[in-house]
A and B are shown apart, each in its own frame.
Chain A
Amino acid sequence: MLEFRNVSFSFAGRRGTVEVLHNVSFACKEDEIVAVIGPSGCGKSTLLSLAVGLRQPSGGEVLVDGRPAKGADRRLGMLFQQTTLLPWRSVVENVELGLEIRGEPKAARRRRAMELITQYGLAGFERKFPHALSGGMQKRTALAQTLAAEPTVLLLDEPFAALDAQTRVVIENDVVNICRSGKRTMLLVTHDIAEAISMADRVVVLSRRPATVKEIYEIPLSREAKSVGDVPGMPGFTQYFNRIWHALDISVAGADAAA
């Protein structure tokens, strides 16, 4: 379980203090997928960097299983938007990186990495360098790398944005299954409303900067659907889409910016 409790974040900008997040509170329960969506630049990704200790909140606290998240935390695993595979390491060496950092013996971590490689359809590619793989396979490798450390909370920072539409649905579906079958908590940051509805049990809509929690929607579609790809065709999808779209208030923001 991951909980944000009255979390605020601000930084010193050129023209005084910039407040990015203001009193943000919500929780992701065990076995629950929560999506955070908000206007561009509202600070959604900042939430994740606060959770993993890349930044410190200026107010409030982030709790993992009731205890404050203290910097790098074994219980947390993160999947980034950009590729974070080390280009000089082969697929298997990348997958075992997290275990290597923890000091696991070589034979054990290699065995674990090979299991994940087989599981995620990367068998036969374990000796290749990341750049020799397709975008989808790179993302799978990154996913295997994150899961190798067996985190209980998965943080996803728009990780599917760069994938083509078909590969994207396949990997989204994998991630949902991984989360559901392993009783994991997942927090997905995205700017894609359809993705949020298709994957998440709850969608948290943030306001423009300084971001506060504007609305939280309970969405049963993802749990009912057989696969992520089916969700947009389900009754109710369009209503949720429209409600979230209006909550985001993007058209007004665009008109303001243009004026």
Chain B
Amino acid sequence: MTARLSHRFVVIAGRLAVLVVILIGTELGVRYGVMSALLTQLSSGSFLTDSGITIFETLLGLFCGSLLGMTVGLVLPQLRFVSNVFEPFLMVLNGIPVIVIAPLFILWLGLGILSKIGISVYIVFFAMFIPVYTGSLRLDTTLVDALHVMGATRLQTFWKVIVPSSLPSVYTGLKIGSGLALIGAVIGEFVASRSGLGHMILYASGTLDTPTLYLGIITLAAFAAVLSFTIDALGPVLVPWRFSDEK
């Protein structure tokens, strides 16, 4: 136990050290430029709005995409015919690079946040759908048999066996999806937008405003880190039996 604790401590200390090096490095690199950019952006007011918009798009995209991916991933294997018909289409759709799909979403949903949420939903959907779908194809049929013998209906089996046994895959999907949700939102903003951190970065790049560019990148990285830690913390809630290793 003490060995594990001290190991954890060393890992955390190591991470902090890397973080400090990165921070000092970037700070030196821009020579206080980021701080002044932050101050300018804060006083002009667009930085907070841009951050808020991107965060909102990401979270909503992650939520809706995950829910959709999970639902389809769970229900599709139950309907063998529908599943056989649609599977190749879904796999091809997943293979199309999101960057070429993005302009289509802009055309459909406009320049506002709706198109960015759409793109985010689109890629998060696959990040969730694929592990959940393939996972439920590998379902332990003995458990299904056991419930059948106990007299469970198909619906009871679905809720008591199929849904809970998909939770480890859902957790995997969330981990991958959380990164992709942000990428989707920013790609949308890069293609065409009037606000958001992607817009800010693109604009800063166009006006050779390096400090604002760094500010955008650092903000995105900070948000990505917070999101990733939050999802990690969800593990023991979502799949408690995988996290209790006591004998």
Between B149, B152, B167, B244, the greatest number of chain A beta carbons within 10 A of the residue's beta carbon is seen for B149
Give the residues in chain A near B165, CB-CB below 8 Å.
88
Q: What's the Cα separation between A74 and B152 when bound, in Å?
A: 11
Between A88, A98, A129, the greatest number of chain B beta carbons within 10 A of the residue's beta carbon is seen for A88
**Closest B residue by C-beta to A78:** B149
Give the residues in chain B near A54, CB-CB below 8 Å.
145, 148-149
Q: What's the Cα separation between A76 and B152 when bound, in Å?
A: 13
> Which of the residues B145, B151, B167, B244 comes within 8 Å of A80, measured between beta carbons?
B145
Q: Flag if A84 contacts B143 (CB, 8 Å).
A: yes
Q: Flag if B142 contacts A98 (CB, 8 Å).
A: no
Q: What's the Cα separation between A74 and B230 when bound, in Å?
A: 45
Q: Flag if A98 contacts B150 (CB, 8 Å).
A: yes
Q: What's the Cα separation between A86 and B149 when bound, in Å?
A: 14
Q: What's the Cα separation between A225 and B240 when bound, in Å?
A: 45
Contact pattern, A 26-54, Cβ under 8 Å of B = 1, otherwise 0 = 00000000000000000000000100111
A238 within 8 A of B: no
Contact pattern, A 128-171, Cβ under 8 Å of B = 1, otherwise 0 = 11011000000000000000010000000000000000000000
Q: Flag if A101 contacts B240 (CB, 8 Å).
A: no
> Which of the residues A52, A53, A77, A101 comes within 8 Å of B152, measured between beta carbons?
A101
Q: Which of A39-96 contact B (CB under 8 A)?
A: 49, 52-54, 72-74, 76-78, 80, 82, 84, 86-88
Q: A86-B143, A88-B164, A129-B241 are in contact. Are A149 and B247 (CB under 8 A)?
A: no
Between A49, A100, A101, A132, the greatest number of chain B beta carbons within 10 A of the residue's beta carbon is seen for A101
Give the residues in chain A near B149, CB-CB below 8 Å.
52, 54, 72, 76-78
Q: Flag if A88 contacts B241 (CB, 8 Å).
A: yes
Q: Flag if A149 contacts B150 (CB, 8 Å).
A: yes
Q: Give the number of residues in B that approach A within 8 Å (Cβ atoms).
A: 22
Q: What's the Cα separation between A149 and B147 when bound, in Å?
A: 12
Say whether chain A's binding surface is mostly helix, strand, loop, or mixed: loop
User: Range of interface residues on chain A?
Assistant: 20 to 34
What is the minimal beta-carbon distance from A152 to any residue of chain B, in angstroms?
Answer: 14
A97 within 8 A of B: yes
B161 within 8 A of A: yes
B134 within 8 A of A: no
Give the residues in chain A near B161, CB-CB below 8 Å.
86
Q: A87-B241, A129-B241 are in contact. Are A101 and B148 (CB under 8 A)?
A: no
Q: What's the Cα separation between A73 and B149 when bound, in Å?
A: 7
Beyond the given A72-B150, A84-B142, please list 14 additional residue pairs across the A-B interface where CB-CB is below 8 A.
Answer: A52-B149, A54-B149, A72-B152, A76-B149, A77-B149, A80-B142, A80-B146, A82-B142, A84-B145, A88-B165, A88-B241, A101-B150, A101-B151, A101-B160
A-B contact pairs, 18 of them (CB 8 A): A52-B148, A52-B149, A72-B148, A72-B150, A72-B151, A78-B146, A78-B149, A80-B142, A80-B146, A86-B160, A86-B164, A87-B241, A88-B164, A88-B167, A97-B150, A101-B160, A129-B241, A149-B150
Binding site for A on B (CB under 8 A): 142-143, 145-152, 156, 160-161, 164-165, 167, 239-241, 244, 246-247
